[in-house]
Structure 1
Amino acid sequence: MDWLSEHLWSMWLTLAVVLGVAELLSLDLVLIMLAVGALAGMVTAFVGAPLAVQIIVATGASAAMLALVRPSVVRKLHRGPELSLGHGKLVGRQGVVTAAITAGEPGRIRIDGEIWSATPFDETEAIAEGATVEIFEIRGATAVVHPMPSVED
């Protein structure tokens, strides 16, 4: 029994390894958090703390990992790249007016080599040809735009 109490750290290490291998099969990020707790128990056993303290430390470390670390790791792993598809990818982009834009008469803008019909965001505003505009939204096949401030203004 003396040998076991002196080498209890190796039991904790074995438990951590077994939990780590089992995590490779489950991929739920639960068993790896428990393995970290087992490693904390191993450290306290290596220092020479009593078995009760080792169990408390291992349980506390496992609970902390499950409550504090796992949710953020899972969130980061499940979040994919932000994809802008279709007309939505044009919102926020800049274009150049190729035909004057007024509220009563839609004009034209060039964005990425394509010509789009455009109306002003502010219906009282007229935007001259050659002005740089920002696309606020796409309504059907028409871009709703606002002029970008220039250095001369």
Structure 2
Amino acid sequence: MPDLVQYLWIAWLVLAVLFVIIELLTLEFTFLMLAAGTLIGGLGANLLGTVWWVQVLAAAAISALLLFTIRPLLLRALHRSSQHIPTNVDALTGMSARVVTAFVEGDGSVKLDNGETWTARLTDLTTTVGPGERVTVTAVRGATVLVAPEQGSASA
């Protein structure tokens, strides 16, 4: 009967490929570090002819080292290059709108430039804004947008 320890290098390669496949699904660099530790530590120690438990310790040590040193640097570099792009309700702030119904006691409705009609409230109740005039969204409070007249379109 053959000694299975002599085929341990196949197990290291299969484990590394498995970690790379999982990494492709998660994209968090965790399993990439485990794959590198498996190849460098486990397979490397195997090729040097060490016993199986030394190979496991080497793979674990190098994986841990990579997880706590290289992975944070890679994540920081990845997130540094991506800028924050406002979406959904966050994207409404600063958007222009046209008044649909007149504001009564500060409440009315506007049609945003993206085509949505929202209930609106004036930020400054001393100004008057009529239908068809342009306003700018200053904030979103629940299902209501706070608006202010655009420069040159408000009549006081």
TM-score when scaled to structure 2? 0.47
TM-score when scaled to structure 1? 0.48
